[in-house]
Amino acid sequence: MSEPLVRTRDLTKVFYEESRGEVRAVDGVDLICNGGEILGLLGANGAGKTTTLRMLSTILRPTSGEAWIVGHEVRNAPEQVRENLGFYSASTALYPKITARETLRFFCRVNRYPRGKVEDRVEELIESFGIRDFADSRVEKLSSGMKQKVSIARTVAHDPPVLIFDEPTVALDVLNAIELRRIIERLRDRGKAILFSTHIMSEAEQLCDRIAIIHHGRILAVGTLQELRDTTGHHYLEEIFVHFARTREPSEAQGEAERPGETGP
């Protein structure tokens, strides 16, 4: 079996706050995600989803543990990690004063897409994401739906094998959220490894091939929806989540980290 595109081992992040002292935001997370797979990171607000994904995208430096993206370790080779990664979140915006075409060109170039192929790639993105009609309009003039298309196109501009979507549908209306999920599925079908964080149960149910339930910075369970159902005896993901959150407090869950179908790889 080939090496997973995303792999973490005992990934931990501790923040220091003046008022609370040390805060363990992510605590010993073990995950893998293969090409052609959507791994959902499901947890409540403050569970550690964003911190985990920010460590994978090298925005944050892990306090301990390791993480690899396409074989590059996040602390030792951050530039190579980012070269193989596209990061999208509700809080990642576009530059308002440049056009959609300039945006795509910029992200191709800055992410070291082969120089001679940039223009072809930009045209390809414009075509495949349906941007042609507003490709030469400044981003500030675009509607939120148009901006979303450009934003996803810039995420995949350099054609990275790994994509991270951090709560991407938070600020979207229903139609745009559906459109986004379709695009993510298409990207999965093209062989991308996709990490998708959400706190919306139905979204995780519909979209994710496997789901990792994260609570208080720890992974409580990982598996396909069917595996999680079989383990808990519950049908709906909401019930499954509550089951793990109540019965598997971090201290006990961590001891069972190696149980197949429930936690880490």
Shortest distance (Å) from residue 82 CB to other proteins: 4
Contact 201, 215 (CB under 8 A): no
Instruction: Return the number of the residue (84 or 198) whose C-beta is nearest other proteins.
Output: 84
Shortest distance (Å) from residue 58 CB to other proteins: 8
Contact 154, 94 (CB under 8 A): yes
Instruction: Return the number of the residue (92 or 128) whose C-beta is nearest other proteins.
Output: 92
Shortest distance (Å) from residue 229 CB to other proteins: 35
Closest CA to 222 of 41, 26, 35, 98: 41
Residues that bind other proteins (CB under 8 A): 13-18, 22, 57-61, 63, 78-80, 82-83, 85-87, 89, 91-98, 102, 106-107, 109-112, 115, 138, 154, 158
Closest CA to 193 of 38, 62, 3: 38
Closest CA to 89 of 123, 36, 50: 50
Shortest distance (Å) from residue 98 CB to other proteins: 6
User: CA dihedral defined by 245, 246, 250, 254, rounded to 10 degrees?
Assistant: -90
Contacts 24+ apart (CB under 8 A), 254-259: 254/27, 254/28, 254/218, 257/28, 257/30, 257/219
Tokens of 3: 């090496």
Shortest distance (Å) from residue 226 CB to other proteins: 33
Instruction: Return the number of the residue (54 or 243) whose C-beta is nearest other proteins.
Output: 54
Instruction: Return the number of the residue (69 or 257) whose C-beta is nearest other proteins.
Output: 69
Shortest distance (Å) from residue 87 CB to other proteins: 4
Instruction: Return the number of the residue (85 or 208) whose C-beta is nearest other proteins.
Output: 85
What CA–CA distance (Å, rounded) separates 184 from 152?
9
Instruction: Return the number of the residue (87 or 241) whose C-beta is nearest other proteins.
Output: 87
Q: What one-character DSSP code corresponds to residue 138?
A: B
70 backbone φψ class: left, alpha, beta (φ>0; ψ -120 to 50): left
